[in-house]
Structure 1
Amino acid sequence: MDQLLERADRISKEDIAYGIYTSGTTGKPKVALNTHEGLACRFAWMSEYFGKGGTYLQKTRKTFDVSIWELLLPLIDGGQMYVAEDKKEADVIYLAEMMQKKKITKVHFVPSVLAVLLKYLERHPMEFPELEYIFCSGEALLPKLVEKTYRIFPNIKLYNLYGPAECAIDVSMYECKGGETEIPIGQAVPGTEIFIWNQKGEAVPPGVVGEICIAGKQTGAGYLNAEDIKFIQKNGRRYYRTGDCGKYGYDGQIYFLGRLDSEIKVRGMRMNPEYIERELTKCPGVLDAEVMKMDNRLAVFYVSDSGQDVDLSGWARQALSEYCIPDTIIKVKELPVSAHGKKDRRKLEELLSEKLFQELSQEFDSKNKDHIFQKFLRNLQKAFMRQVPEGVKAGESVFDAGLTSLGVVEFVLDLERMGIHLTFQDVYADCTLEKMAKTARMNERKHLPKKKNLVILKKENDMKNVFICFPYAGGNVECFQKFAEGFEDKAVQVWVYCRSFADKENVHEDLKELAREISGDTRIHVMGYCGGAAAAFAFLDALKQTGREASTFWLCAAAPYKNMKIGDREWSIWDLLPAFAGKRILEEIYGGHIIMDQGKYKRFRKEIAAAQSYMAKYNSIHEVPTYLLYGENDPLTRNYKKIYKTYHKYVKHPFIVCEIPKEGHYFVQTLGEKLARYAWKKLYENT
């Protein structure tokens, strides 16, 4: 101890405190160096601003600089620290239990992990009376995720932090108030200044986009044994040019707008795909290569100049840094190109999924001749490959194959949408698709009705009242969970039909079968949510063919379809938008409640196109009490007052139109229980 204290006396503020790996624009690994002064400044403002002491949860991997303050700050300011088990940083069930049992007061989450935690807590409410602060960094924080955080944790404060590895962790912060339309990264922390520069290194006025540049005590010391061209001297001061795009708002806050270069981020590490391609094409026998980010994994397609297989994996391990080594390597005869002569990345994605699925399906079929069991396995594999594109063999652990705790939640919800019932506990206990298929088959008898593609969210002994619900395009059973819970002890069943409307032929057969099998004494209530309105109308038709009408008809956040006709085709706004813009708009509309990845957006586009095509030709007329519900702040139905009467073409009955104050598109989830109580009241007004 005396030696340590003696060494501490010799440490100066300019000395290096730590180094952490990052990657520059060349893709080569670099160690970003930060000083004792910068780190001390970082600890000082956090301790002063958020109070000393408290109980921290240390869960971030040591490869990320957030782990430094999680580990050291409690030791400095007299707090307590609990260390999470290894590889549990995204296991939201484990983290929630840890936070509650250990009475955590300060905790950090990447927004994507926070979103899954909130989704879990919506279904499994827990109390966290000691929790005071949640900090977010590492990804963009969406406004609706902020709103949801404050609904689940009404007594905490949520902060959005920002900082590159080349500076001492976080250099700006913003206290989220709720109600924002865009979440800034805030203002510079004490001892640090942040500027927005143009290409000439000149400061730009508020509202003008430029490069985020950092100066002050937390600015790093450069890179270890590497050029530091991003660190510059100007007017006697040292600045770091981040390569991040941003602007100062007129409110004095800084807004992060993305990267200026072409780097991609996989598993938290920045890398340049062109650099990786260049290194891989140096491998003997490789003619061409294309690197793709698929979900949070790195895939490479290569063309062999001789047509023979090449040990590209071995070459990659020798030529590339560990975090740049591809997870998946696929040989192709040629790289597909688009009409514009560019590499067609969409076709490559489809090629990868199709090839892997075929290989794995052959393995399933050779092991088991039970066709029903094979069908379960194939559907499980389809859902699994949306999380881990490479798939997994039937008897291998899904976790060894790459399924994360975040992925488990998405996997289970996707299966629910397909009509397969597995719990989170089933996935963790069974671990392999083979065991899960057996469990799912048993669960089908226990949890699902005999009708196809239905999930029962609420079941009663009698069949007096049944709600048949249809999710929004790309949605799943989860969107009606709160609605089902709202009926509590009422004699109402809630069923959710979850087959994709893009599969129209099978959908109509399902609905006809369902209509025939429901007892004639049952009062049927039909609910369509946004794009699910088309399926709801289709079910009204199926009922009518049996000589019946629904007792009530509910359309939520569903304005009549209005398309543009160009030539012989109907076009919607989603057909005309680029994919990145469409995904961003939907994430804003659903505001952090969903993360719209490429697979979900593709499914959404298919289902909304099928719904619009169906309604363009719809000509049935029904006699049914109808309720139209809209959120006051829903951008998709803002003009509903002008067009809702279009529904009179299909329903010859007075409408009850309800506008829900201050709610957006997601009100069926946020107000599901209140909606159920309102619906219960209305059921008997229409007896």
Structure 2
Amino acid sequence: MTTSIATEGVLHGWFLRSLRRDPAAVALRVAGESYTYQQIHDHALALAGELVARLGSRPRRVGLLASRSELAYAGILAAGYAGAAAVPLNPDFPAERTQGMIAAADVDAVIADDNGLPLLPVLELGGRPVITETAAPPLEHPYSAEPDDIAYIMFTSGSTGRPKGVPVRHRNVEFYLRFVHDRYGFGPDDVFSQTGELTFDLAMFDIFSAWGSGGTLVCMPPQAFAAVPQFVRKHGITVWCSSPSVISLVRRMGKLTPGCMPSMRMAVFCGEPLLREDAAQWQAATGGLVENLYGPTELTISCSVHKWDPATSPSLCVNDIVLIGTMHPGLDHVLVDSEGVVGAASGELCVTGPQMFPGYLDPRDDAGRFLEHDGRRWYRTGDLATLQPNGELAFLGRRDHQVKIHGVRVELSEVESGLRRLGSVTDAVAIALDGELYAFYLGEERAAADLMEEMGTFFPRYLIPLHYQHLAEFPLNSNRKTDRPVLTARILAARSES
């Protein structure tokens, strides 16, 4: 069985180039330990050798039942080194969901760390080997791969209640990484945060921005979110990436103060809308670049960007939300209105180009998700946007967050913007259920009647929620995004009790 070193056009090639430049550089800090590029490389080769020995051939897809351990990060490389696609699996997910992902991805083997071991007895692996340690000879060097081979598979939520598998090809992520490395000029002195689980595709931004530049990736444990500025200063974080919910968390703890994170030269936020005040306060806390990234998993991490400018960006915000900006070079977009008119000024955002995935693992999930236009295939994001006079795009909300209240079409993002205008309300989430609007809010607790009366001074009646619940903080999912299903469940529970 022959192998060849593959560096160009494949995901793990970004790591290998940094390995050659300085194998002794620190590639990863996790759980109080530091690991060099050479150490991670050696472990990945050992895991890849174990995979090939157990299977007797190259695997196609490797499940990673692991949660931000050294084994988890080495496992991502090991899958690529063995010529397979990496399939991250979150040990904290319910067993039924993980079982569905394993079956949907049809993984050949599973790499499990200590966090994943407790879940193994309740999973039906069908004889698939589970790798927790290595005994077989390591690979001499990585297998080659083709640009159209799948680099990794992420799962997103589906309207059917089962997760949808999103295969991302090497060529998709190669195009993306070239863009971000050229734009931000990452270097070996940069220290990168890693805030989300590996099942969140932003983790790929963190990992291969760091490893593609010879920098250091620092895994942030959950308890560190109680003291983000201290963590940033301790590790000298220069590049930050997370969902915007982290900003409000830091502010609520009274720790988001001007100049509190001086090491940070840049921060990018992605995964949910970035609010105007959040962007302004984060930039004041760091003094560095702040950018708002937009993009679904199907378009490989992010596909558009807006650079926050404190002089001009605040006035450009729509519903308090920072613009999602312009498409990456090489990508095209069109807006499709509710009548199906392509090229409208506002409507559903559809994108095509080299970052677009080839289609879901289950072809049934492709139904309704693509637009055929101008001889090309476009991905329908399900997000509503409008083109601004400056040529940038503004995010208006999810198509499925557009609801009808008493026959009138309502955008939940507009309701949330109005709630944040209320005195002493610092943030808010609106939920629509059975034709009624429910509001969850942070800040000072006030009587519902007072909130409704104040909203009535600037909103028509159909935009005013009838139900209000004060919270100390919003529930967050494993990707540290606001967990709307949890809030919906609270509404249902309260109904059943009344």
Which TM-score bucket, shorter chain as reference? Answer: 0.5 to 0.7
In the alignment, which residue of structure 2 is the partner of 1:473? Answer: none
**Cα offsets for 1:390-440 (capped at 9, x unmatched):** xxxxxxxxxxxxxxxxxxxxxxxxxxxxxxxxxxxxxxxxxxxxxxxxxxx
Cα-to-partner distance string for 1:250-295 (whole Å, 9 max, x where unaligned): 110111111213699xxxxxxxxxxxxxxxxxxxxxxxxxxxxxxx
Cα 1:46–1:581, aligned 2, differ >3 Å: closer, same or farther?
A: closer
- 5+ residue gaps, structure 2, are 7-82, 84-141, 431-438, 459-498
Among 289, 294, 315, the residue aligned to 1:180: 315
Q: Is the 2:229–2:255 Cα contact (8 Å) retained in structure 1?
A: no
Deviations 1:102-160 (A, max 9, x none): 1111111222211221343547776322211111111111212222223323x211111
1:140 aligns with 2:273: yes
CA 1:201 to 1:34, structure 2 compared with 1: closer, same or farther past 3 Å? farther
Q: Answer yes or no: is the 8 Å Cα contact 2:164–2:360 preserved in 1.
A: yes
Which residue of the other structure, out of 92, 98, 101, is the alignment partner of 2:225?
92
Considering only CA atoms, is the larger Rg found in Structure 1 or Structure 2?
Answer: 1
* Contact 1:31/1:223 (<8 A) preserved: yes
Shift of 1:591: 11
In the alignment, is the contact (CA less than 8 A) between 2:306 and 2:325 conserved in 1?
yes
Aligned residues: 298
2:347 is aligned to 210
Secondary structure of the residue aligned to 2:383 is: strand
CA distance in 2, matches of 1:174, 1:592: 26
Q: Secondary structure at the match of 2:5?
A: helix
Higher helix residue share: 1
Q: What is the Cα deviation at residue 234 of structure 1? A: 3.6
What SS is found at the alignment partner of 1:144?
helix
Superposition map of 1:72-151 within 5 A: 72-85=208-221, 87-88=222-223, 91-122=224-255, 127-151=260-284
User: Deviations 1:455-487 (Å, cap 9, x if unpaired)?
Assistant: xxxxxxxxxxxxxxxxxxxxxxxxxxxxxxxxx
> Hey, what's the Cα distance between the residues in 2 that align with 1:184 and 1:100?
29
1:43 to 174, 177, 194: 177
- Counterpart code for 1:194: H
Cα separation, 2, equivalents of 1:611 and 1:232: 44
Q: Is the 8 A contact 2:397 2:412 kept in 1?
A: no
Does the residue aligned with 1:239 lie in a helix, a strand or coil?
Answer: strand
Taking the aligned partners of 1:42 and 1:123, their CA distance within structure 2 comes to 31
- What secondary structure does 2:205 align onto? helix
* Aligned counterpart, 1:237: 376
Deviation >6 Å, runs of 4+: 123-126, 577-580, 589-592, 609-612
Q: Is 2:359 the partner of 1:222?
A: yes
Match of 1:52 among 168, 177, 186: 186
Q: Output aligned runs, 1:462-481, within 5 Å.
A: none
Contact residue 145 and residue 591 of structure 1 kept, 8 A? no
- The answer for the alignment partner of 1:26 in structure 2 is 160
The 3-state SS of whatever aligns with 1:52 is coil
1:101 is paired with a residue of what secondary structure? helix
One-letter code of the match for 1:259?
R
Contact 2:426 2:441 in 1 (8 A): no
Percent sequence identity is 24
**Which of the residues 450, 454, 475 maps onto 1:608?**
450
Structure 2: how far apart are the matches of 1:95 and 1:233? 45
The 1-side partners of 2:179 and 2:452 are apart by 54
Which amino acid letter does the alignment assign opposite residue 189 of structure 1?
A: H
Does residue 256 of the first structure (1) align with residue 98 of the second (2)?
no
Gap change, CA 1:50 and 1:589, over 3 Å in 2: farther
Shift of 1:581: 5.7
With structure 1 as the length reference, what TM-score do the two structures score? 0.39
Q: Note closer, same or farther for the CA distance 1:151–1:262 as it changes in structure 2 (3 Å cut).
A: closer
Shift of the 190–590 alpha-carbon distance from structure 1 to 2, 3 Å rule, reads: farther
SS for the counterpart of 1:14 is coil
Residue aligning to 2:427 = 594
SS at match of 1:243: strand
In 2: Cα distance, 1:40 partner to 1:220 partner: 12
The whole-number CA distance in structure 2 between the counterparts of 1:247 and 1:592 is: 27
- Which residue does 1:63 correspond to in 2? 199
Question: Alignment partner for residue 303 of structure 2, among 159, 168, 171?
Answer: 171
8 A contact 1:145–1:593 mirrored in 2? no
In structure 1, C-alpha distance between the alignment counterparts of 2:390 and 2:402, rounded to whole Å: 30
Helix, strand or coil at the partner of 2:305: strand
What is the Cα-based RMSD across aligned positions, in Å?
A: 3.6
Partner Cα separation in structure 2 for residue 237 and residue 609 of structure 1: 48
| Residue number in structure 2 paired with 1:247 | 386
Cα distance in 2 for partners of 1:611, 1:589 equals 10
Task: Give the Cα separation in 1 of the matches to 2:330 and 2:411.
Answer: 42
Q: Which has the higher contact order (CA 8 A, sep 6+)?
A: 2
Relative to structure 1, the CA distance from residue 213 to residue 578 in structure 2 (aligned partners, 3 Å threshold; closer, same or farther) is closer
Q: TM-score, normalised by structure 2?
A: 0.53
1:50 and 1:578 mapped to 2: Cα distance? 34
CA contact (8 A) 1:196 1:210 kept: yes
